[in-house]
Amino acid sequence: MKLTELGRTVAAALAGVVLSFGMAQAEPVLKIAALEGGTVNWELDTIRHYGLDKAEGFTLEVLPLAGNPAAQVALQGGTVDGIVTDWFWVARMRAEGQDYRFIPYSKAVGGLMVGADSPVASLADLKGKKIGIAGGPLDKSWLILRAYAQQELGFDLAAETEQVFGAPPLIMEAALSGQVDAAINFWHFMAKMEAGGMHTLVSVSDAAQALGLDPETPLLGYVVPGDLVVKQPDLVAALARASRAAKAKLANDDAAFARLRDQMRAKTDAQYNALVAGYRAGIPGDGPVDEAAAGRMLALMAQLGGADLVGPATTLPAGTFLTN
C-alpha cells in the first residue's frame, strides 16, 4: 500500500473512532409535550434557559400541542417521552394495564369565584343561579365542589344551578362581564379574575380538606412510560431533579419570573403578581405522595365521575407515583 493510501486509511479509521466516541458521548434527548400557552411552559423554559437539563446530562425538547387529548395520544404513540397531566389519568391507564408513572409537578387547584358586588355569599345562594365551569361535567374541581355542597348543605349544585361549560378564557370573560353569577376556573385564570376584582367564594383546596382529602396531594405531574423508567432510570431521575431545580429558581428568584412575563400574558402588574404567587403556592413538597389520601380522592372521583373519568380505577393502582 502506498504511503498516501495508508494515510487516507488511517485518517478514515481515526475519523470513525472520533465519530463513534462523539455519538457515545452525545447527551440523551428527552421530549416533553406541553399544552401551548400552559403554565408548565414557564418551568420548561426555565430548565432550558438556565441549562438545568444540561447540568443533569440531558437535552430537553418541548413539543407544543393544542390540548391534553393530543398530548396523551403523542405519549401513547411514542412521539414524546413525557407529558404533563393529572395522576387520575395515570391511575386509569395503570388499571387498564398500561404502564405509566407520575412525577409531581404542581398541587395548584382552582376554586369558585364571584364578583366583588355579588349577592352570593355562600354556596346556598347559588340556587337558581348560573355557574360557568372551565372544562366539562367531569372537571375535577366541579366534582369536588359538588361533593362539598352535598356534604355541607345537603344539595346538589348540578341539580340546583344552571351550568355553562367552556374553555378557561371564555369562562373568565363570562365571569368578569357578569354573564354568569359564579365561575369555576383553573388557578392561573383565577389569578387574573382576582386581579379583575373577583374573589374566591370556596377554594377547591378548602373543599377537599372538608371532605377529608389532603390539599397537599399534587394533582398535576410529568407522566412518563414505565419502560423508560426501567430502561433509563437515570434519565427519568434527571428530569425530576431539573424540575425541582427550576421550581427552586422560580420560587426564590424574582428575575427568573420577570424574564417570563411576556409568555405569562399578564396584562397588568396585579395579574402578574397574582400569577407568580399562585405558581409558588402550588409547588409541591419533596418526598413521597400520601397514597392513602390519594386513594380517598380517587374513590371520590370514581363515585362522582364514574368510569367516564377514571375507567376501572376505583382504587389507587400500585406504582402510580414514581416518587414512592
Question: Amino acid identity, residue 303?
Answer: Q
3-class SS string, 255-312: HHHHCCHHHHCCCCHHHHHHHHHHHHHCCCCCCCCCHHHHHHHHHHHHHHHCHHHHCC
Q: What is the bridge-based pairing of β-strands 220-225 and 100-106?
A: antiparallel
Domain-ending residue, one of 189, 210, 231: 210
The reported pLDDT for the residue numbered 25 is 58
Could you tell me the residue range of the domain that residue 37 belongs to?
27-107+217-310
Q: Which of 173, 193, 210 is the last residue of a domain?
A: 210
Q: What is the CATH number of the domain that holds 274?
A: 3.40.190.10
Same domain membership, residue 233 and residue 100: yes
Domain annotation covers residue 84: yes
Quick one: cell of 38?
A: 400552559
SS3 224: strand
The total number of structural domains that make up the chain: 2
Lowest mean pLDDT among 22-31, 215-224, 255-264: 22-31
- Residue 59 in any domain: the answer is yes
Strands 162-166 and 111-114: unpaired
Boundary of a domain, candidates 172, 191, 210: 210
Task: Give the pLDDT band of residue 14 (cuts 50, 70, 90).
Answer: very low
Q: How far is the C-alpha of 145 from the C-alpha of 213, rounded, in Å?
A: 12
- 279 in Cβ contact with 250 (< 8 Å): yes
Name the residue type at position 310: V
| 180-194 pLDDT per residue, tens | 999 999 999 999 999
How confident is the model at residue 18, as a pLDDT?
42
Taking the C-alpha atoms of residue 279 and residue 40, their distance in angstroms, rounded to an integer, is: 10
Give residue 253's pLDDT.
97
Res 143: pLDDT: 94
The pLDDT value recorded for residue 5 is: 54
Q: What angle is formed at CA 86 by the lines to CA 80 and CA 88, rounded to 5 degrees?
A: 115
Do 77 and 168 lie in one domain? The reply is no
In a domain, 61, yes or no: yes
- Residues 70 and 132 grouped into a single domain: no
pLDDT at residue 308, rounded to an integer: 92
Same domain, 53 and 90: yes
Which residues, 6+ apart, have CB-to-CB distance to 50 below 8 Å?
246, 249, 256
For residues 119 and 167, state if they share a domain. Answer: yes
Please, what is the average pLDDT of the chain?
Answer: 91
Assess whether 34 and 103 both reside in one domain.
Answer: yes
- The mean per-residue pLDDT over the stretch 44-57 comes to 98
In this prediction the pTM is: 0.87
Residue 16 or 262, more confident: 262
